[in-house]
Structure 1
Amino acid sequence: MRIIFFSLLLFVVTSASADAKYSFCNKSSYALSAAIGYVDGDRLATRGWWRLRPGQCKVVLTEKAKPGRYFVYAEAIPGHEGPLRTWSGDTALCVENSGFFNLRNQDVCRDDPMRQRRFFNVEVTEQAGGNWQTDFTEASTYTVYSAEVAGVQRLLSDIGVDAGRVDGAMGRTTQRALANYRKQKGLAEGYSIDDEVIDTLIEDANAREAKLGLFYCNKTNSPVWSAIAAGEEGDTYNSKGWWKLEPGDCSKIVKGSLEKDHYYVYGVIEDPAGDRPITGGAKNFCINNVMFNVNDDLACADQDLEEASFRRIEIGGAESLNFDFTPDMFAAPAEAGGE
């Protein structure tokens, strides 16, 4: 599954006023989680997550937006079908993976790439007068209202309801689907869109997605750095990592219903005496010491990458699967004795 990186930035400049601020506006058909990075004194701080319903605008910084560089990132909620949709750039900054956060130390995620997101840059101008708005948009141009309609259409589709095309138009198919959903959930009758129905749809979509996918679980007593390889079109495979799993932790590696009949998994335990990779590998793929996402259409050496042996796992038509890293899967420590 290829992760799609996509970013568009629009801004609105307004005259200076007493309520100068920085705002986000979601003009996409996706429900989003968004974050911002900014200079706070002598440090670079990051703050999030703000949930943005489709069509929702929200103030994220109540203080005056000073001229200079800010950093912005947003990702679709996990409940949306398909690969993760992001509005992103090239600047890696720290986040928490869940809940609201306010980080003033960018060293906290140095050893955990899964706590990093790639923010895009925003240059706030002097002419903005302290007010700035970043719009999250799609190739389809939506107004605030049509984004709300398109968001409901997408969320209904995510939970398996036919609401017509995701086009932002409140046609009869969308009206009928929304009215039926509201009735099923015990909400006020009709096909009106309000915060309550959108939040209920988000909750249902996320609950549905939570049951699907490929999960890695660490059943060892040491942190495991994990990676995966999956088939692409033709005979090409894509390998990517790293997910750091603390002892007892589980993490979703592939979202959505599993569509492939097999995957290749890799893990390594860092040991003072030397790394202990997973054994029983069936096929070699490219890896790197830092985060990687590469295809095997070129030799690893030609991409300045290392090579590692991944273990094959069969899916057997299941929509979801847990893969457990256990102590016996890994090479023995360099010194006598096991883990």
Structure 2
Amino acid sequence: MAGILPVLAVVVACLWTSPAAADFRLCNNTSSRVGIALGYKDAEGWTTEGWWNVSSRSCETLLRGNLVARYYYIYALDYDRGGEWSGQAFMCSRDKEFTIKGTENCLARGFDRTGFFEVDTGEQRAWTVQLTEANEQQPQKVPGMPGGVGPGSPGTMPGLPNPPPGAAPPGASGLPPAATPGNKP
């Protein structure tokens, strides 16, 4: 017992003096399992990565270390109920594990074109996104069609449906808002 106390004291001292973790984390505060895709711009340009599978009521570190950007982009699928968390920042993704460089010509490059939502970290060194059921969007229903349409709908893959090649929704440039010149500092 006497030999354990000095070791325990060293462990406690190391924990006490360790700098706080500077990571980008996501907490799933829902009753469902979710799939997460992440987009960001670093010194090498735009990157999207996925999928992290996050259990109900748990957290996952998506990027370790100090944040490299102010703006990050998230797309999340509710595996159990079919909803999604999405936005108007269109980036490339696919239905299997991926790391994709660039946000242009997703369809021509064989990827899906998916709407991510923006997270402004305010230039903090660490950030945690909280997914809740209140900000989840349920899949859209089309009259006369069974099931839903769009990302996260049962029977569809992440990022579908996509507009035809070369087409963009009205007002969308096909790039995340932070990549549009003059849009963000």
- TM, length-normalised to structure 2: 0.62
The answer for the alignment partner of 1:326 in structure 2 is 132
The answer for the alignment partner of 1:278 in structure 2 is 85
Structure 1 residues not aligned, in runs of 5+: 1-186, 188-195
1:211, CA displacement in angstroms? 2.1
1:270, CA displacement in angstroms? 2.3
1:301, CA displacement in angstroms? 1.2
Summarize the Cα distance change of 1:304–1:333 in structure 2 as closer, same or farther, 3 Å threshold: closer
1:303, CA displacement in angstroms? 2.2
The answer for the alignment partner of 2:63 in structure 1 is 254
For 1:214 and 1:286, the matched residues in 2 are separated by 20
The answer for the alignment partner of 1:245 in structure 2 is 54
| Alpha carbons 2:88, 2:117 under 8 Å: kept | yes
| Alpha carbons 1:241, 1:292 under 8 Å: kept | yes
For 2:121 and 2:104, the matched residues in 1 are separated by 27
The answer for the alignment partner of 2:37 in structure 1 is 227
| Alpha carbons 1:262, 1:312 under 8 Å: kept | yes
Q: Which amino acid letter does the alignment assign opposite residue 328 of structure 1?
A: A
Could you say which structure has the higher helix fraction?
1
Q: Which amino acid letter does the alignment assign opposite residue 220 of structure 1?
A: T
| Alpha carbons 1:224, 1:245 under 8 Å: kept | yes
Q: Which amino acid letter does the alignment assign opposite residue 221 of structure 1?
A: S
Q: Which amino acid letter does the alignment assign opposite residue 107 of structure 2?
A: A
1:276, CA displacement in angstroms? 2.1
For 2:140 and 2:80, the matched residues in 1 are separated by 9
For 1:314 and 1:297, the matched residues in 2 are separated by 19
| Alpha carbons 2:37, 2:51 under 8 Å: kept | yes
Summarize the Cα distance change of 1:304–1:218 in structure 2 as closer, same or farther, 3 Å threshold: same
For 1:271 and 1:233, the matched residues in 2 are separated by 36
Aligned residues: 131
Structure 2 residues not aligned, in runs of 5+: 1-5, 142-185
Residue deviations 1:278-310, cap 9 Å, x none? 13x131111111100001254111221111111
The answer for the alignment partner of 1:86 in structure 2 is none
For 2:113 and 2:25, the matched residues in 1 are separated by 23
The answer for the alignment partner of 1:308 in structure 2 is 114
1:220, CA displacement in angstroms? 1.0
Identical aligned pairs, as a percentage?
19
Q: Which amino acid letter does the alignment assign opposite residue 121 of structure 2?
A: I
- Mapping 1:1-339, distance limit 5 Å: 207-208=18-19, 211-233=21-43, 236-271=45-80, 275-279=82-86, 281-296=87-102, 298-333=104-139
Residue deviations 1:52-92, cap 9 Å, x none? xxxxxxxxxxxxxxxxxxxxxxxxxxxxxxxxxxxxxxxxx
1:271, CA displacement in angstroms? 4.6
For CA contacts below 8 A with separation 6 or more, give which structure has more relative contact order: 2
Summarize the Cα distance change of 1:320–1:303 in structure 2 as closer, same or farther, 3 Å threshold: same
Summarize the Cα distance change of 1:334–1:299 in structure 2 as closer, same or farther, 3 Å threshold: closer
The runs of at least 4 aligned residues of structure 1 exceeding 4 Å deviation read none
Aligned Cα RMSD in Å? 2.7
